[in-house]
Every structure is written in C-alpha cells, then in structure tokens.
Amino acid sequence: MIRIGVAGKGGTGKTTLATLIIIGLLRNNHKPILAIDADPNSNLAETLGVPAPRSLVEIVDEVTKNKDSIPSGLDKVQYLEFQIREAITEDEGFDLLVMGKTEGPGCYCYCNHLLREHMEKLQQNYSFVVLDNEAGLEHLSRRTSRQLDILFITALPDRVSLLSAQRICEMTKKLELEIGEIKLVLNEYGKHLPESPYSSLPLPVFFTLPFDDEVWKRSCSGKGLMELSENSSAYQTVWNNIEKILRT
C-alpha cells in the first residue's frame, strides 16, 4: 500500500494534482484507491465527477445533536464509525471519504482525530491512498498527514507561494512526521517559468505541471476531469512522473 499526500497554499493546483494522480492510477489499473478530501473547502468529489458524500463533520454534528438516535448496544464511537463507513462514496476502482467543514465556530480537532483513526483502519483495504490536504499548514500541525510515503507540495512560481512551500517543508521536519519523500511541483497556470531558476527553492523541482487548456475548460464548466483525454499535457506529465516513482 502506497500513501500519497498533496499539500500547498490555496490556489496552487493542489486538488487538480491529487485528481490527476488518481486518474492516472485508475487508468493504469493501480487500484483499489482510497481518495480522501481532508480540505474543509472540499472540491475533490467535483473534480472526480462523483456525488459529494456526507462529510465527517456533518456526521459528527448530527450524532452530537441527536444522541438519542444512537441504537442500543452501540456506544458513540462505534456508531460514528458505522456512519462514516456508510458515508463513503464508492465508485469503480476508488472510494471517496470527505472531511467537510463546520457551519459555524468550532474545532476540527475531534474530526481530525476521527479521520486519522479511520484512515489507519481503512487504508489496509486499498493499494493506494491519495490524500488531498487542507491548504496551508494547519493539517500538518493536526498530524492528519503524519504517515505518508510521498508528499507532493504544489506551488506557483512566485515568492509568496514558494515561501509557503518552504514553511510546509520546515513544518514536516519540526513535527517529525513519518513522510518518506517530499517533492515540489510547480504549477505554471498559464505563466511562463523564468529562464533562471529561483535561488530560494525549498527543494528541487520534481516536475512542472504545464497549463492545460482542456483541464482549464473542464474545471470552469464543472465537468470534472475523469473524462480528460489521454493527450492532455497535464495528465501525461503527472502520470509520467508518478510512473517513475512506482518503478523505483
């Protein structure tokens, strides 16, 4: 079982990269896959073209507000686990679990704890786990991504985005997370990368995700990326590099 995480500042193509990784694994028969959307601003279901399932936050809120609904013979933890399993969206070759977001003031601590505990139990049933993390650094301090074989950090080729990538790298070392490899992915987003590389890169660029007109149009129309053509430059770039990792 291989565990892949994607992190980065908001707007750097984090969810797009996670989706393209999942699509590449599916098309090349590397399955079953557990896809986890751990970003409160959940978009992974849309990019995968599947209905958004009930989220962990929704389940916890419902059970907390309606304690009398817990069947006799089950404690709260057992009932929550049952509800979470029921909420997973199942599709051909992959399942999707969504973290969700609170509707008001509150703490994600309990939901993150549930996500970690449930991931550890669930992931043994899959060949791959692909985790789309919350934007920024918070998910690292919560240790949602504490055990990964590969962590991809996405960044735009600008100073603010690269500083965010650098902070993510530093945080993983400070927290002593169990991450095998950390790889930086630059996203062009239609911009041309400078001829001279940045001198302050937090780590070497593993690959550059090219601007892809097909990805852009499908994203704008809300069609999702599952029907993306094999000739898509973004898809080919991602899969060629994921394949390199799988061969090592």
* pTM for this prediction: 0.88
Extents of the domains making up the chain? 2-50+123-247
- Secondary element (H or E) of residue 186: strand 178-187
Structural domain 2-50+123-247, CATH architecture: 3-Layer(aba) Sandwich (3.40)
Cα-based torsion angle of the residue sequence 91, 140, 113, 2 in order, rounded to the nearest 10 degrees: 40
- Give the pLDDT band (50/70/90) at residue 144: low
pLDDT averaged over every residue in the chain = 84
pLDDT surpasses 70 at 142: no
Distance separating alpha carbons of residues 196 and 81, to the nearest angstrom: 51
Please report the pLDDT score of residue 198 as a whole number: 54
Distance separating alpha carbons of residues 215 and 47, to the nearest angstrom: 10
- Are the C-beta atoms of residues 49 and 226 closer than 8 Å to each other? yes
Please report the pLDDT score of residue 119 as a whole number: 67
54-90 pLDDT, tens digit per residue, is: 888 888 878 777 777 788 777 777 887 788 888 888 8
